[in-house]
């Protein structure tokens, strides 16, 4: 499958340019919205959201939750700040690279990643970090996209992966389930959609 290489500053720029699009999406009640709601209603307590984007998921968290949100794109963080202010939520925003940022171990009740395992150079490292930041009895919630089990769709995904990565900064052909199964996360429940390209995963640290 391989990892395509890109300078991190260039990848930040690619996501900076998409911040407006993500901000608009936060208001659309489409399939993405329904799947997020289904998964994120399980979020409780102290929440750590990785690669928060424009804050699309804030609306699904309990009003009482404390949120820490990380992203390496200043434009995404700025949009997410607007969304948080709009919803009257206090969010501790951290600008930084999820692969490098220092966060306290075994601290968060819920660690969340939506549509971001596709972007990291080392997704297995991020999964390991998620497990380490989550409390032992906490939850890890994932809404991710990746390679289909349908061979024709998978073929298209492999063919378009390089183009897509250069254009939007994410891989289309990662085997998300395999990555999670081989990580220090234990899957509690999972659901799969759109020819198994989209996954909702409820997990916990091993």
Nearer to ligand SAM, 92 or 137 (CB): 92
Strand duo 46-50 + 108-114: pairing: parallel
User: Token pair for residue 106?
Assistant: 């075994």
Total of residues contacting ligand SAM (CB under 6 A): 20
Strand duo 134-145 + 91-95: pairing: unpaired
Nearer to ligand SAM, 76 or 179 (CB): 76
Among 40, 51, 110, 117, binds ligand SAM (CB under 6 A): 51
Q: Which stretch binds ligand SAM (CB under 6 A): 39-47, 64-72, 85-93, 189-197?
A: 64-72
Q: Does 22 interact with ligand SAM (rule: CB under 6 A)?
A: yes
Strand duo 185-193 + 198-205: pairing: antiparallel
User: Token pair for residue 62?
Assistant: 């309990």
Q: Which stretch binds ligand SAM (CB under 6 A): 50-58, 132-140, 152-160, 198-206?
A: 50-58
E strand or H helix that includes residue 145? strand 134-145
Residue nearest to ligand SAM (CB): 53
Q: Does 98 interact with ligand SAM (rule: CB under 6 A)?
A: yes
Q: How far apart, in whole angstroms, are the C-alpha atoms of residue 24 and residue 37? A: 17
Q: What is the DSSP string of 67-133?
A: EEEEES-HHHHHHHHHHHHHTT--EEEEES-TTT----TT-EEEEEEES-TTT-S-HHHHHHHHHHH
Nearer to ligand SAM, 137 or 202 (CB): 202
Q: How far apart, in whole angstroms, are the C-alpha atoms of residue 70 and residue 96? A: 6
Nearer to ligand SAM, 170 or 185 (CB): 170
Minimal distance in Å, beta carbon 130 to ligand SAM? 13
Q: Does 115 interact with ligand SAM (rule: CB under 6 A)?
A: yes
Q: Does 198 interact with ligand SAM (rule: CB under 6 A)?
A: no
Give the interface with ligand SAM as residue ranges (CB under 6 A).
15, 22, 51-53, 56, 70-73, 76, 97-99, 114-116, 119-120, 170
């Amino acid at each position: 499958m391989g990892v395509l290489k890109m300078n991190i500053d260039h990848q930040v720029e690619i996501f900076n340019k998409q911040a407006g699009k993500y901000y608009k999406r936060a208001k659309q009640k489409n399939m993405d919205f329904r799947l997020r709601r289904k998964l994120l209603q399980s979020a409780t307590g102290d929440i750590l959201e990785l690669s928060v984007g424009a804050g699309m998921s804030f609306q699904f968290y309990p009003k009482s939750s404390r949120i820490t949100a990380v992203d390496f794109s200043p434009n995404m963080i700025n949009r997410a700040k607007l969304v948080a202010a709009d919803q009257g939520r206090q969010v501790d925003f951290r600008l930084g690279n999820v692969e490098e940022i220092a966060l306290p171990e075994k601290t968060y009740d819920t660690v969340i990643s939506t549509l971001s395992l596709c972007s990291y150079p080392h997704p297995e490292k991020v999964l390991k970090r998620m497990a380490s930041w989550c409390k032992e009895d906490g939850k890890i919630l994932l809404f991710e996209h990746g390679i289909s089990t349908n061979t024709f769709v998978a073929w298209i995904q492999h063919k378009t992966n390089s183009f897509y990565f250069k254009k939007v900064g994410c891989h289309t052909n990662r085997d998300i389930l395999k990555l999670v199964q081989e990580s220090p996360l234990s899957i509690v429940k999972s659901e799969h959609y759109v020819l198994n390209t989209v996954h909702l995963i409820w997990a916990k640290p091993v």
